[in-house]
Amino acid sequence: MSSSALSVVKLGANIGARIDGVTLGGQLDAFTVRSINDALLEHKVIFFRDQHHLDEESQYEFAGLLGTPTTAHPTVTSRGNRALAIDSEYDRADSWHTDVTFVDRIPKASVLRAVTLPAYGGTTAWASATAAYEQLPAALKALADNLWAVHTNIFDYAATSAEQSVSSKAEKYRNEFRAQYFETEHPVVRVHPETGERAILLGHFARSLVGLSTKESRAIFDLIQDRVTRLENTIRWSWQPGDVAMWDNRATQHYAVSDYDDQYRRMERITLAGDVPVSVSGESSRVKAGDASGYSSLAS
């Protein structure tokens, strides 16, 4: 379709839009690519319907128009190099998180394609970390602006269900994920490299707050994290065959709802390289363990 056919339909006050009139792939013109990126920056997560023609190759080509793809995952390499399979037999992403925050170079964005869907359930929710920051009272903003958090890969977003399972597939996934240890200190509030907006950077990879006790960390984490996941700051997507979602990983968290019993669900995710977060005072995130250069380049 031509660029003029593209339309953006806003879905929520604080997050979410659907883009109509675009056939995704590597053939898109520059105007369409800019329009998609602009919509991503404004709405944080964008959805495309009826992309039945996509396979891993064309999904990868589309993603590459908007940035530099990473490898599938920093540690999980057994299930592909370019696309990470989000496969319910191994894992369920049923915890609020921002992808891969245990490395220094947090991804820019991800493109998620529905491959096999359950007959019911299996929705995904996204939350705006920028709207959450903007809504903080001045006193909480001042606190959050000066906090740093330790993020580790002690468990992945998908390991919530793996920890509850005794299956050999889940156990293998957990062991592979933890084979190489990563730890990074990130500012709790980062400045978005493209928009200049401030966004809360937490999610379940955050294990503690620097300089605070475990009890203090938990209390303050919950106080700020709860602001991110207020229902007014979220959107929940009911997947259909042919759907694609793309989200700004620098400004959102997401949660895959595990409400489909033992039905099979499979998605494929391609991730784009990002930058090292910078705090409101201009300090960059600090690596404490692990080298992510093999996983991702730094966005230029």
Inter-residue contact 268 to 113 (CB < 8 Å):
yes
Inter-residue contact 205 to 152 (CB < 8 Å):
yes
Rounded Cα gap, residues 143 and 223, in angstroms? 11
Rounded Cα gap, residues 122 and 266, in angstroms? 10
- The length of the chain, given as a count of residues: 300
Beta bridge partners of 127: 234, 253
The three-class DSSP label of residue 152 is strand
Inter-residue contact 93 to 31 (CB < 8 Å):
no
Active-site residue flag, 230? no
Q: How many CA atoms lie within 13 A of 130 on its CB side?
A: 22
Active-site residue flag, 254? yes
Active-site residue flag, 269? yes
Q: Is 121 left (phi over 0), alpha (psi -120 to 50) or beta?
A: left
Which of these is catalytic: 92, 97, 174, 198? 97
Which of these is catalytic: 73, 113, 254, 265? 254
Which of these is catalytic: 99, 104, 243, 275? 99
Phi, psi of 215 (to 5 degrees): -65, -45
Phi, psi of 246 (to 5 degrees): -135, 130
Rounded Cα gap, residues 239 and 225, in angstroms? 26
Biggest CA-to-CA distance, the chain: 56
Active-site residue flag, 104? no
Which of these is catalytic: 192, 227, 250, 269? 269
Inter-residue contact 191 to 280 (CB < 8 Å):
yes
Active site residues: 97, 99, 254, 269
